[in-house]
Amino acid sequence: MVHPPPSKSPKLTPRLNSKTKTAPLTIVIKLGTSSIVSPTYPFVPHIQLLSNIVETVVKLRDQGHRVVLVSSGAIGVGLRRMNLKERGKELHKKQALAAIGQGRLIALWDNLFSQLEQPIAQILLTRMDISDRTRYINAQNTFSELLNMGVVPIVNENDTVSVSEIKFGDNDTLSAISSAICHADYLFLLTDVECLYTDNPRNNPDAKPVRVVRDIQAVKQQVSTKTLGSSLGTGGMETKIIAAELATAAGTTTVVMDSSNVRDIFQVIANGPSPCRESEEGSTPELNEGPLCTRFLRKEAALKDRKWWIAHGLHAAGSVIIDPGAFRAIQRKESGGRLLPAGVVRVDGVFAGHQAVRLIVRRRKGEDDGKGEGVGRQDASVSLDMSTPASPSSSSTPLSATAVSPALRHLNIQPISISSTDQPDTPHIEPSLSLSSSIASLDPLSRSVPPSPAIKPFGTTGLTAINGGSKNGAEGGDVDVAEWEEVVVGKGLAQYNSVEIDRIKGKKSAHIEQILGYNDCEHVVDSITFI
């Protein structure tokens, strides 16, 4: 099925009440299952709490703000409708209960909002909707149009067909993704505790509240996040920190607060958009005052929409391992966020062209992410130096110039051999691999690889034979494997599939056509976003 090209998102035109002193904001409010129904049989809906939330949303709308509601609870409502005491462990049963409950859940919201004449809309998303760029932009356009029409979108994951939500996912992550789609100013995660604590306050009376978070990574080390969700929910405090990390990267301030104190939202947003995390700590004393909650401050240099989508919306189909020199190169602005094949060390996984891949730097332990004076490709013993003349003592024995990634060995790919039997200074590339059916099934536009012509003469001094990967990540030679580590640094879009990149890794871009028989792009990974 061919999707129509997505149209550009219409500009939001909020109506601002002349009585309010705050600028119009886009606000996403997320409610967990425990805030919607009781956690035990007979799973009675919290009508009073839901009514307070509806009144708060309508008042925010009256002040000119745009509001999106992310609501869990479909399975809980389904249990009540079927008069069941537990949801069971079978996946198909959970999906059936979600299908039963989702209709009644949206009807409950519609009845409550209708009392105040506020129209709502239902949006059900899956991870596939986020992974596909066209569907992602179409969802963004739908959100924009609904908000311009004065409608409150109510979002939930499509549990009936989304296996990942019920088994692994949660609506905290969905709310963060919704915030990025809507370019929200605030994300409020309503739960059954007031804020983030240094320990579980239910078990430790000495646990202290954390009111402001500037460094999420530091918080993960300093506070306890081992609290589990309710018997019906799939989240907990740990998932809220993950959601905050995603949302703040998109420029959205994230607030964790008690759902019973939902009216405190007005005090939190009273001063407009929250300051960014880069602001001086002493310059924002108001953050430690007011209602008890935890604010995760937004990043000042938020990722742009497409870069955020690549970094957090796409599932990585594989990994491209690079050397520190290549990492330093793609960090420069003039690189345009593109990776050349010369910097590629290894390919892990099977992926098609234009799929997302992780970028992993292979470096010496303790090296500063490749930013300082570090190890180049020669130290890593994984690249070909073709810039110097051949040594007279060059061996006539064929050398294995490229090692097939362990993840690709099941494709029956043989290493590319460099033979210097006839002409010591002019090695020939003798490809013995072709695109497998599994790669072709991933990329219908993939082509069979024709025999590659011989590469033009170049020297072989410094040519390093690669003996294949090891468990410790070092490859070939007498390198001490204990000195090496691999660190994930970003994500990007592959311009060739995994087999093609494995063939041209370590080579100059000028040799791509001679090896593959075509040259669609000088870069192997594009649109790189660092994480």
Task: Note the pTM of the prediction, 2 decimals.
Answer: 0.69
Closest Cα partner for 71 from 170, 166, 151, 167? 170
Amino acid at 332: R
The b-or-e profile of 497-517 (16+ CB within 10 A means b, else e) is bbbbbbbbbbbbeebbebbbe
| SS3 at position 258 | strand
| SS3 at position 136 | helix
Give the pLDDT score at 164.
54
pLDDT 10s per residue in the chain (531 long)?
A: 444 555 554 444 444 444 445 679 999 999 988 889 998 899 999 999 999 999 999 999 999 999 999 999 999 999 999 999 988 888 889 899 999 999 999 999 999 999 999 999 999 998 888 888 888 999 999 999 999 999 999 999 988 887 654 443 578 989 999 999 999 999 999 988 888 888 877 788 888 888 999 888 888 777 766 554 444 444 467 888 989 999 998 999 999 999 999 999 999 998 777 777 766 665 566 677 788 999 999 887 777 788 888 888 778 889 999 999 999 999 887 777 799 999 999 999 999 988 889 999 998 887 665 444 343 333 333 222 333 333 333 333 333 333 344 433 344 434 333 333 333 343 333 333 333 333 333 333 333 333 333 333 333 323 233 333 343 444 444 455 568 889 999 898 999 999 999 999 999 999 999 999 999 899 999 888 887
Which two three-digit tokens encode residue 258? 């008690």
Which two three-digit tokens encode residue 435? 């695109």
| SS3 at position 14 | coil
| 387-424 tens-digit pLDDT | 333 333 333 333 333 334 443 334 443 433 333 333 33
Dist CA 168 CA 505 (whole Å): 35
| 464-513 tens-digit pLDDT | 333 333 434 444 444 555 688 899 998 989 999 999 999 999 999 999 99
Dist CA 70 CA 89 (whole Å): 25
DSSP state of 89: S
Domains, the chain, with CATH or none: 26-277+287-305 (3.40.1160.10), 316-364+485-530 (2.30.130.10)
- Cα distances from 317 to residues 330, 350, 403, 525, in angstroms, run 21, 7, 21, 13
Give the total residue count for the chain: 531
Closest Cα partner for 39 from 82, 88, 73, 90? 73
Q: State the distance between the two ends of the chain, measured CA to CA, in whole angstroms.
A: 33
Closest Cα partner for 196 from 238, 251, 138? 238
